[in-house]
């Protein structure tokens, strides 16, 4: 379920995390919930969107500034989650992008 605060029209960052989960997901759901809750409380966090189909997920988080992303990357709970990446994922790709322009349409 997406959680997006009103985003600026541009000048912010998106972290795109696409992944395919493995069969060994012991502890994943609990850590996923914990890190998502914690990420939303980080200074500079703007929101996220997530789409999952079977074992494949695309998760995009939005951040005001790159420093906020770096602070989240170095967060101890996030580091614990990342330590399990080789167990929980068959494949993942993490990308940091600068958003020059953003337009939202809702009907």
The rounded average pLDDT for each run of 10 residues, N- to C-terminus, in the chain (107 residues) is: 73 98 97 96 95 96 97 97 97 98 85
pLDDT of residue 3: 60
Per-residue confidence (pLDDT) for residue 107, from 0 to 100: 79
pLDDT value at residue 73: 97
Task: Please give the structure tokens belonging to residue 54.
Answer: 């079977």
* pLDDT recorded at residue 2: 58
pTM recorded for the entire structure: 0.91
Q: What is the pLDDT, as a whole number, of residue 4?
A: 65
Q: What are phi and psi of 42, to 5 degrees?
A: -80, 140
């Amino acid at each position: 379920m997406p959680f997006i605060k009103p985003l600026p029209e541009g000048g912010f960052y998106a972290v795109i995390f696409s992944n395919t989960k493995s069969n060994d997901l012991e502890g994943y759901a609990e850590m996923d919930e914990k890190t998502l809750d914690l990420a939303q409380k980080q200074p500079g966090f703007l929101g996220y969107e997530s789409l999952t189909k079977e074992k494949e997920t695309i998760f995009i988080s939005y951040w005001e500034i790159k420093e906020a992303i770096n602070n989240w990357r170095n967060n101890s709970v996030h580091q614990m989650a990342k330590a399990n990446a080789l167990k929980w994922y068959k494949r993942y790709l993490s990308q940091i992008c600068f958003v020059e322009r953003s337009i939202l349409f809702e009907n």
